[in-house]
Structure 1
Amino acid sequence: MTLWPRLFDRVMEVIAALLLVALLVTVSLGIVTRAVGEPLIWTDEVSRFLMLWVAVTGWILASRRRAHIRIRFFHDMLPARGWRSAEALMQLAMVVFGGLTVWYSIHLVQANYDLEATTVPLSMGLLYAPMVLAGIVTVLQGLAEFVGNLMNWRTSPYEPVAATLQEPAE
């Protein structure tokens, strides 16, 4: 992995950790202030913003690490060329999904930019802004995986089978 992807991943990890801590503090503050009878009304709304941002940073990190949920039962039954073809289709679907996410997210940000949150002076467009970044990262990740798949088209996607420890029968 080159420097820029590693740097991007590290920055996203730090942002995710900071957002998670901020979410934990905000939710805890809301619980404590309600318990003592003096609730802070802004904690619910800030928690909603933070939860979406945490989810999106998680999506980006999972996509970058190829840790998203995949059920490969039937996929792994395919011969090598079929496996590569199915993988290419999934990667192209990832690019299309990311592109649609960018497109619709931009429209959501624009449509909600002039609306202000109820309890905090923030634009509601900020609620949807991280989806634009997530879509862009999804498109780039899908394209990178697709190109990598094409470059390795002739090699088998399966791990070589290790020699067994069992003695051959005589």
Structure 2
Amino acid sequence: MTRWSKAFDRLMEVIAAILIVALLVVVTLGIVTRALGEPLIWTDEVSRFLMLWVAVAGWILASRRRAHIRIRFFHNLLPQHGWRAAESVMQSAMVVFGLLVSWYSVHLIQANYDLEATTVPLSMGLLYVPMLVAGVVTALQGLAELIDNIRNWHSPPFQPIAPTLQEAAE
């Protein structure tokens, strides 16, 4: 499984890099053509698509790296089984959130599929496709972390890499 997850992570990094470069090129092109007095009307709309796709790629990468925002101050004060129980609740919530995002994304894709973007011949449903992918990845990541947490129930809990406030003060 780790070979597949490493390949997926690498693919997402490449996709994110391509999307960022594309966004920079499109925005720069829009700025330059406006400055020259001949603006390309499609740059704003394509930038909107690309910004969402970049944000979703970042969301997926953060979820895969467990880099999403978590405040563990109170969580780390819990005893081992309490820590594991709280972690299980958080990962279950992550699964539910991912499934809800996926569910609503399908609805948004269907509702906007027949609408064409104003300046480019693309379906507005494409704007929401990355959200579907992010929802599925989030749900799967939460499920994998939940299973890992349950498997390691009697092991010491995961400790964050960053030092606690007390450790940083010492």
Give TM-score, length-normalised by structure 2: 0.92
From the CA coordinates, give the structure whose radius of gyration is larger: 1
Match of 1:166 in 2: none
Q: Is 1:10 matched up with 2:10? A: yes
Describe the shift of the 1:38–1:135 C-alpha distance in structure 2 as closer, same or farther (beyond 3 A).
Answer: same
The one-letter code matched in structure 1 to 2:66 is R
For 1:30-71, what per-residue CA distance to the aligned partner results, in whole angstroms no more than 9, with x for missing partners?
111111111111000000000000000100000000000111
Match of 1:69 in 2: 69
Give, in angstroms, the shift of residue 2 of structure 1: 1.8
Aligned residue runs from structure 1 range 127-142, under 5 A = 127-142=127-142
Match of 2:162 in 1: none
Q: Which runs of 5+ in 2 are unaligned?
A: 160-170
Secondary structure (helix, strand or coil) at the match of 2:128 reads: helix
Q: Is 1:51 matched up with 2:75? A: no
For 1:115-155, what per-residue CA distance to the aligned partner results, in whole angstroms no more than 9, with x for missing partners?
00000000000000011110000111000000000010001
Give, in angstroms, the shift of residue 111 of structure 1: 0.3
Secondary structure (helix, strand or coil) at the match of 2:8 reads: helix
Structure 2 CA distance, aligned partners of 1:60 and 1:158? 21
Structure 2 CA distance, aligned partners of 1:115 and 1:65? 35
Root-mean-square deviation (CA, aligned residues, Å) is: 0.9
Match of 2:117 in 1: 117
Describe the shift of the 1:85–1:113 C-alpha distance in structure 2 as closer, same or farther (beyond 3 A).
Answer: same
Aligned residue runs from structure 1 range 90-169, under 5 A = 90-157=90-157
Secondary structure (helix, strand or coil) at the match of 1:155 reads: coil
Give, in angstroms, the shift of residue 158 of structure 1: 5.4
Structure 2 CA distance, aligned partners of 1:112 and 1:131? 14
Conserved? CA contact 1:22–1:50, under 8 Å: yes
Structure 2 CA distance, aligned partners of 1:2 and 1:131? 24
Structure 2 CA distance, aligned partners of 1:3 and 1:72? 30
Query: Identical aligned pairs, as a percentage?
Result: 75
Give, in angstroms, the shift of residue 106 of structure 1: 0.2
Describe the shift of the 1:22–1:90 C-alpha distance in structure 2 as closer, same or farther (beyond 3 A).
Answer: same
The one-letter code matched in structure 2 to 1:61 is L
Conserved? CA contact 1:80–1:158, under 8 Å: no
More divergent stretch after superposition (97-106 vs 76-85): 76-85
Structure 1 runs (4+) deviating above 3 angstroms are none
Give TM-score, length-normalised by structure 1: 0.92
Give, in angstroms, the shift of residue 77 of structure 1: 0.9
